[in-house]
Amino acid sequence: MSGLEVRGVEGMGEIGRGSDLAHLISEATELRDRDILVVTQKVISKAEGAMVDVDPNDPLSHKPVVERESVRILRRRGDLVISETRHGFVCANAGIDLSNVERGKAALLPEDADRSARRIRDGLRGIADVTVGVIISDTFGRPWRRGVTDVAIGSAGIRVIQDLRGTTDTFGRELQVTEVAVVDEIAAAADLVMGKSAGIPVAVVRGVDPAIFLDAGERSSVVPDLIRHPSEDLFR
């Protein structure tokens, strides 16, 4: 039970508008039931055409797009904008990204990354007859700590929060820290094999606690369940 395997999926080629990601993934790798696929936001945005034109000679030409994609600006410093996107994510530049995309283009966040994840999961069930979990990951900064880490912006088939309430520690006492953001931990683990420059857009995580897989009829995904409501948020 206590072993985990994380591997990058290579050889998927360049992804463009209309690419069938479930099909490409199933061609590129062997999957088993209860594997978790982590797919980077970038290939989702490309496949779904969530791209805008920018001036390749003006490093700030995506800034009006940042304003448009934001519902609330939390902080500004120089060119940096930390805002809340219409999905509810708090991140820099409304998640708009210029790296690993064609010159003159910028990638927006997917319209609904939970839906994107469901499509891939359902596609793989049809094509490869496997039941997997899917996470869409993106790279966000955070307050108080330097550097970025990958987190989940969409998911399908798995609980985003593993609730350990009611379980006891090794002394038989009920656990205080109870709600683990497992999808973010899985996204972080996947980034370790994808890197930022390696061109590996998908990773397979095998061996995660099967308890995080949803039972029939259960629902859990990132936007409804992982985003902290502003009224509960001490820093918004």
Q: What residues from 69 to 98 belong to the interface with its own copies (CB under 8 A)?
A: 74-75, 77, 82, 89-90, 97-98
Q: Judged by CB under 8 A, which stretch of 18-26, 112-120, 122-130, 136-144 contacts its own copies? A: 136-144
Name the residue nearer to its own copies (CB basis): 38 or 123.
38
- Whether the CB-CB separation of 157 and 196 falls below 8 Å is answered with no
148 binds its own copies (CB under 8 A): yes
Q: Which two tokens stand for residue 155?
A: 């998911």
Per-residue tokens: 86: 């219409």
DSSP at 168: B
Collapse the DSSP code of 125 into the 3-class scheme (helix H, G, I; strand E, B; otherwise coil) and give the result.
helix
Compute the least distance from the CB of residue 126 to its own copies, in Å: 27
176 binds its own copies (CB under 8 A): yes
Of residues 119 and 194, the one with the C-beta less far from its own copies: 194
| DSSP state letter for 88 | S
- Least CB distance to its own copies at residue 187 (A): 8
- Report the alpha-carbon distance of residue 126 to residue 21 in Å, rounded: 13
Task: Give the C-alpha separation, 223 to 118, whole Å.
Answer: 13
Which residue's structure tokens are 């094999």?
Answer: 193
Q: Among 151, 157, 220, 221, which residue sits at the site for its own copies (rule: CB under 8 A)?
A: 151
Among 179, 210, 218, 219, which residue interacts with its own copies (rule: CB under 8 A)? Answer: 179
Q: In the bound complex, what is the minimum distance in angstroms from residue 117's beta carbon to its own copies?
A: 17
C-beta atoms surrounding 181 within 10 Å: 17
Helix (H, G, I), strand (E, B) or coil at 82: strand
Distance CA 94, CA 68 (A): 9
Classified as helix, coil or strand, 134 is strand
Taking the complex as a whole, how short is the minimal distance between the CB of residue 160 and its own copies, in angstroms? 8
Q: State the nearest-atom distance from the C-beta of 152 to its own copies, in Å.
A: 9
The nearest distance, CB 143 to its own copies, in angstroms, is 4
Question: Which residues 192-211 are close enough to bind its own copies by CB under 8 A?
Answer: 192-200, 207-209
Q: Is 65 in the site for its own copies (CB under 8 A)?
A: no
Alpha carbons 228 and 236: distance in angstroms, whole number: 10
Q: Which is nearer to its own copies, 8 or 123 (CB)?
A: 8
Residue 6 in the binding site for its own copies (CB under 8 A):
yes
